[in-house]
Structure 1
């Protein structure tokens, strides 16, 4: 019985061991499968390296990693997805040191406006002329100086008109004789035709004698813009004695550039402030755009009507006018975020991956601290508002160096011999290479006997090549064995790009 229990225990132990072995084998196989599958996945997600270069000398390219022959540093890979990328990467620390600050492109309802300087002038619609329609003379002048302020109804001068005595005496005689009313009415009409004031006729009726002196009063409040008489001066019908200019409203005439004048409309509101004191503000509106363009300044005169009830504005003053346009929805950015070179406008956009990219934008209305964007940006984009000049310079430098590198040749791994570098260097697109011997050197060209050029299906021949400049390849002489690159162009049809001696001359 005891042996039976021992045998059963042994069988159980063996089964347990076998189960553990197979379980461990299964787990190990699974883990191995996952381990071998990881590199495959990693290989699928790897970025393709085009070449290596030294960031401090980005022109030369290397086909293998290694130490830079120019600087004490390792070469840096350039990936396929960065080949045509003009974005600039700036570390957070450098951003803080440069003071780079971003702003968001937003949409808002705003009115386009522009500033102009206007000269205050009299509103000619408020000007009144004071005339007399009788022969006489100025007996007493009460307002004696031009530009003197007057009030409505204020006496201006006393006129003596002897020609009014006869009609008045005739009217008074008829009235004393008790004639019919129709005769008296006819006599009054005759005096009105002679411009005898009704007030003067009432004085004659009350005094019983004809009155030849009458007082001229101001028809409106304002200033005496024109004074045409003096004491004792004879007057005649139709003569202008005074010209009174009202000051309740004035004109502000501004020279508006032709490009901005096309957006002006009658009735546009304007805010005005004194050029000498900006704290004094006025309200007005655009009344007229004069149909005349100055040939010398290419400007249009716009006439704005400005309220002046307090009389603080006088002709000759300068007003700074802010003309507001129609209100509509606009996409705007801070004005400081746009770099304007005169031929283009550029904004530095911060991408989602943290890089910065210059983007050319189209601008609309100038809204003061903000600019309307009509092309190149979208709502919610992040643009650089401070330090953008440094980022733009870096992006343009990267673009130029990238173009130079694309036109250059790939350099073999660091440390490779120069001859190996030349042998491995593929010619740039549009450039062909060959070997030959210099026959003659002229100021504008070099004659070379070269071997076949398979790319152009040329056999071995002797031909002339243009030099890129009179001083190009100064050490070259007849008999030198050279390896050269050339391209289509130049006066001779083909132009040398590089020339490298490969052996001693004859």
Structure 2
């Protein structure tokens, strides 16, 4: 019903003081202006007698009284504007609070005064009570998906050499022990030669021991000669085992030339390949990265103010941007002992199963760390308005007056949102039509100057 909405908006704007409504007598305003021109008040000067800004002192300048009364900003008891009354609001020092804060949003406590009690109804403004209930919505935090660090293999050359052949490329799925590349290495060739020599010496030592034992039986050789032969055999065996172990470390067999096969220590997906055929590689270079993506980690950024409520094995519900309509569940297995000095958050880790591979590293999402049931104040989502960089809720003080409250919100469940600061249980907040109230609190909106702080 466009016509009705248009009329409602006009009624609201017209009802707000200062927007075309009746204010001060024009002749009185002209006389007051003449008086101020004759003796201009110094900007920011205080009235020493009454303790308020000299320019706003209604006791020194009675012509300002009807102006503040028309705005509903009047303290009858002390006969001063309530917004600057030093007795009612000693914390303000006789000065009004700024209508719009430095961040460009309405100041906390900014009031919107309607002319009549029916204005809110005609403008379509509805209200609902803020209620306290036991909630377990949890602590909302940001989440980032990363690889499970225990299932990431960075594979480098076991011995310096030249890449002769590649078996895999990025994206290949490999099983544990699968070949990745063949590398020719002079060091491996030398170890194979030494192993062959050790095997020959071992064979000779075995034959020599048998001969010495036979001669001892015949009384020709002494026991000392047998022990010496045994010692030589033990040394040959140790030398052979050493060279065989050296080749086993690089993945080379005892036979063949100077090449060896580089294999993967775990099953997964090849995510990096820096090796190219013909490239000379050293032992310090990472040639392949293989990742088992059957499980991933979610890293949570937990604000330091929420850390006391976070503990190990606490359940977490995660929603990832790239996976719509699916909630992932897990438990916290680690909370960092240090705070990031830039973000004032600590990292928490949640392992997640990833059987279908839908989770990918560096995905972002939102998580709720489920906390034990606790009392929480909730309001309808429609009651929370965003103004500049802050969130506002308009609390009804009377049928014809609303107050803007800067609020902090927590978890959202359905049509309700948790308010952690700014609203008390039982207070009535504007829901439908609260957007109209918000527009009246912004300087650049129509009707600016029609609201202020009491």
Q: What is the TM-score of this pair, normalised by structure 1?
A: 0.47
- Between the aligned partners of 1:101 and 1:188, the Cα distance in structure 2 is 90
Partner of 1:190: 242
Task: Rate the CA distance shift 1:96–1:192 in 2: closer, same or farther, 3 A.
Answer: same
* Partner residue of 1:167 out of 186, 194, 197: 194
Partner of 2:167: 142
* Partner residue of 1:358 out of 384, 402, 416: 402
DSSP-derived class of the 2:170 partner? coil
Partner of 2:363: 318
- Between the aligned partners of 1:195 and 1:233, the Cα distance in structure 2 is 21
The 8 Å contact of residues 251 and 306 in structure 1, kept in 2 or not, is answered as yes
1:110 and 2:153 aligned:
no
Residues 205-254 of structure 1: CA distance to partner in whole angstroms, max 9, x if unpaired? Answer: xxxx6775543321122333443433354555555443323424445678
Task: Rate the CA distance shift 1:163–1:344 in 2: closer, same or farther, 3 A.
Answer: closer
Q: CA deviation at 1:142?
A: 1.0
RMSD, matched Cα:
5.0
The 8 Å contact of residues 113 and 366 in structure 1, kept in 2 or not, is answered as yes
The 8 Å contact of residues 148 and 223 in structure 1, kept in 2 or not, is answered as yes
Partner of 1:152: 176
- Between the aligned partners of 1:150 and 1:282, the Cα distance in structure 2 is 27
Task: Rate the CA distance shift 1:401–1:195 in 2: closer, same or farther, 3 A.
Answer: closer
Q: CA deviation at 1:117?
A: 6.8
Structure of larger gyration radius: 1
Q: CA deviation at 1:103?
A: 2.0
Task: Rate the CA distance shift 1:340–1:236 in 2: closer, same or farther, 3 A.
Answer: closer
DSSP-derived class of the 1:263 partner? helix
Q: CA deviation at 1:106?
A: 1.3
DSSP-derived class of the 1:194 partner? helix
Residues 96-137 of structure 1: CA distance to partner in whole angstroms, max 9, x if unpaired? Answer: 65444332221122345446474x554544332334444554
Question: How many residue pairs end up in the alignment?
Answer: 307
The 8 Å contact of residues 174 and 184 in structure 1, kept in 2 or not, is answered as yes
* Structure ranking higher on relative contact order (CA contacts 8 Å, 6+ apart): 2
- Between the aligned partners of 1:311 and 1:364, the Cα distance in structure 2 is 37
- Between the aligned partners of 1:283 and 1:387, the Cα distance in structure 2 is 38
DSSP-derived class of the 2:306 partner? coil
Greater strand share, structure number = 1
Residues 232-251 of structure 1 aligned to structure 2 (within 5 Å): 232-234=278-280, 237-250=283-296
Q: CA deviation at 1:186?
A: 0.9
Q: What is the TM-score of this pair, normalised by structure 2?
A: 0.51
- Between the aligned partners of 1:318 and 1:210, the Cα distance in structure 2 is 46
Residues 309-368 of structure 1: CA distance to partner in whole angstroms, max 9, x if unpaired? Answer: 4322334x53222343644321222242245656894533376xxx35424546343323
DSSP-derived class of the 1:152 partner? coil
- Between the aligned partners of 1:164 and 1:196, the Cα distance in structure 2 is 11
Unaligned runs of at least 5 residues, structure 2: 1-20, 26-75, 83-110, 210-229, 442-446
The 8 Å contact of residues 346 and 358 in structure 1, kept in 2 or not, is answered as no
Residues 253-300 of structure 1: CA distance to partner in whole angstroms, max 9, x if unpaired? Answer: 78x69xx55435575765444434423554465754875555xxx686
Task: Rate the CA distance shift 1:291–1:167 in 2: closer, same or farther, 3 A.
Answer: farther
Partner of 1:424: none
Unaligned runs of at least 5 residues, structure 1: 1-55, 61-79, 404-506
Partner of 2:10: none
Q: CA deviation at 1:189?
A: 3.7
Task: Rate the CA distance shift 1:347–1:132 in 2: closer, same or farther, 3 A.
Answer: closer
